[in-house]
Amino acid sequence: MPSSHASGRTWRAGRSRRRPRTIVVCGLAALGASLAAGCSASPSSPGPSIKLSSAQVSQPNSSGVTDIYVDVQNNGAADALIGARISVGGHVTLRSPGRAGLTAMHTVRSIVIPARSFVGLDPNGSHLLVTDAGKMISGREITLTLLFAHAGAISVPAMVTNPATGGASYFLN
C-alpha cells in the first residue's frame, strides 16, 4: 500500500487520518489558559467553613415557647452566631449561661464560634429560644437558618421532636 509522510509518521492510504494530536493540543492550550488564569486569581475555598448538623427543635409548650439545638462544626477562622430564623416564623433569641457552670440563661447578642472547633448548642449551654412561632408538629422538619458574622446565612433542616411523648430528643441522638 502506498504511504505518505505527515509529521514524521507513516499513514496508509485508504484509512482516515485520526486527529488525536489536535485534541491534545487543544486540551493543552485550554489547560495552559486555565493555569494562567488561576495564577492571577485568588485561591478558591474548598467550601463553607461552617457546617451544621443534628438540628432539633422541641415541640412548643402551651405558651408557644421552645428551644432549638444544633451542632456547629467550624473548620475555618473564628466567627460568631449573630442571629437565626426558622421557616415557621416567630422570634428566635440567642441564649447563653451567665457564667460557666451556671444554668441561668441570658439573652446575648452573639455566640462565639472559635476557629477550628465544634460547638454544640445544647440545653445546658448556648442555644436558641423561640417564641411566637407557627405550628410545629412532632416528626416534621422545619428549616433553621443561622446567621454568622463572617460565614453569612447557613440553613439546615431541623426535626421537631416531642420528648414528653417518647419522640426523639437531643439527648437521645
| pLDDT tens per residue across span 123-155 | 889 999 999 998 899 999 999 999 999 999 999
**Higher per-residue confidence, 8 vs 102:** 102
Q: What is the DSSP letter of 172?
A: T
> How would DSSP label each residue in 93-160?
EEEEESSTT---EEE-S-EEE-TTEEEEE-TTSSEEEEES-----TT-EEEEEEEETTTEEEEEEEEE
Cα distance between residue 98 and residue 18, in whole Å: 75
CA pair distance 169, 72, nearest whole angstrom: 18
Please report which confidence band the pLDDT of residue 165 belongs to, taking 50, 70 and 90 as the band edges.
confident
Q: How confident is the model at residue 162 (pLDDT cuts 50, 70, 90)?
A: confident
| Better-scored residue on pLDDT, 67 or 38 | 67
Kindly calculate the radius of gyration of the chain based on its CA atoms and give it in whole angstroms. 28
pLDDT in the model for residue 48? 74
Q: What pLDDT does residue 22 have?
A: 41
Fold of 50-165: Immunoglobulin-like (2.60.40)
- 173 or 80, which is more confident: 80
pLDDT at 98: 81
- Does 77 have pLDDT greater than 70? yes
Whole-number pLDDT of residue 61: 87
pTM above 0.75, yes or no: no
Domain boundaries, given as residue ranges, for the chain? 3-40, 50-165
pLDDT band at 101 (very low <50, low <70, confident <90, very high): low
Nearest by Cα to 93 from 72, 110, 107: 107
Question: What single letter denotes the amino acid at residue 117?
Answer: S
Least confident of 26-35, 39-48, 93-102: 26-35
Burial class of 151 by CB neighbour count within 10 A (0 to 12, 13 to 18, 19+): buried
